[in-house]
Amino acid sequence: MTTAILSALPEEQSGLLARLEQGQRLVHAGRVFWRGNLHGHGVVLALSGIGKVAAATTATLLIERFRVARIVFTGVAGGVGEGVSVGDIVVAQDYVQHDMDASPLFDRWLVPGYAGVRLPCDTALTATLSEAVNDCLVSANGHFDHEFMNAAPRLHLGLVASGDRFISSADVAHALRTPLAAAGHPVLAVEMEGAAVAQVCLDYRLPFAAVRTVSDRADDSAHVDFPAFIQKVASRYAERIVQALCEKLSNR
Ligand code: ADE
């Protein structure tokens, strides 16, 4: 059973690529896919591209062309939940598209045709991914240390919001988070792809799970924090977490 490992940016993927064995490079729809073995597990590594449409195209290709059995997203996100700090790790239980609004025809944030505002991730795969992250944090031995953090990284499990906008203002983050929280949807983090992949995977009934390292607080310094984190830290997190996940998936 092949697992697709999706990353948004090359910098997030580079550590995984460096460890890929028997790597085979394939190009479809202008996207590069790498098929091979990672820690004894069959994988396809792919870049989602940026934003919901690019990510949906990549996810569909992974399912239709590569016949992957599951998709796991590893990337970064802006932390908007209380206590979600730079360097923390968020595992998504479900997703919301914060820029979807077909009201008053449909409930705000609901993607018409789907059961609810929240697009759920796969429960079993998410539990395995959370275990993998937890194991990494317990045995971190300083591996996750970096200049952007001021406390040991923590794991948060919950709702993540995606939309076609990089959030780089505390006011915008507040305006996004507050009505969602008031409607019973407290968001931990924001990014730009996960909900689209969740939606495609629901269409195909394919297991999906996502882990995001918090690179910034989606506030007025996000545009500085994000690239620095991406360059210096993101790949290290992804490498460790994916290794732990592959080992778990191979042993099941
Ligand atoms: N990914 C990482 N940080 C983000 C932010 N602040 N907004 C949207 N996507 C992000």
Q: What is the pLDDT along the chain (252 residues), one digit of tens a residue?
A: 999 999 999 988 998 999 999 999 999 999 999 999 999 899 999 999 999 999 999 999 999 999 999 999 999 999 999 999 999 999 999 999 999 999 999 999 999 999 999 999 999 999 999 999 999 888 876 667 666 676 788 999 999 999 999 999 999 999 999 999 999 999 999 999 999 999 999 999 999 999 999 999 999 988 877 888 887 888 888 899 999 999 998 877
**pLDDT at res. 54:** 98
The CA distance from 5 to 243, in Å, is 11
**Which atom in ligand 1 lies closest to the alpha carbon of residue 78?**
3
pLDDT at 237: 85
Q: Is the CB of 86 under 6 A from ligand 1?
A: no
CA-closest residue to ligand 1 atom 9: 191
pTM metric for this prediction: 0.95
Amino acid at 96: V
Residue nearest to atom 6 of ligand 1 (CA): 218
What pLDDT is recorded for position 225? 78
DSSP secondary structure of the chain:
--EEEEESSHHHHHHHHHH-EEEEEEEETTEEEEEEEETTEEEEEEE--SSHHHHHHHHHHHHHTT--SEEEEEEEEEE-STT--TT-EEEEEEEEETT---TTTS-TT--TTSSSSSEEPPHHHHHHHHHHHHHHHHT-TTTT--TT-SS---EEEEEEEE-SS----HHHHHHHHHHHHHTT--EEEEESSHHHHHHHHHHHT--EEEEEEEEE-SSTTHHHHHHHHIIIIIHHHHHHHHHHHHHHHHT-
pLDDT of residue 252: 72
Return the CATH number of the domain spanning residue range 75-250: 3.40.50.1580
- Assess whether 107 carries a catalytic annotation: no
193 annotated active-site: no
Domain ranges of the chain: 75-250
CA of 134 to the centre of ligand 1 (A): 23
Do 138 and 164 form a contact (C-beta atoms < 8 A)? no
Q: Residue 88 C-alpha to ligand 1 middle, in angstroms?
A: 14
Question: For residue 94, which of 191, 208, 174 has the smallest C-alpha distance?
Answer: 208
pLDDT of 50 = 96
Q: Which atom of ligand 1 sits closest to the CA of residue 163?
A: 8
The pLDDT, as a whole number, for residue 146 is 67
Compute, in angstroms, the gap from residue 24 CA to the centroid of ligand 1. 31
Task: State the pLDDT at residue 171.
Answer: 97
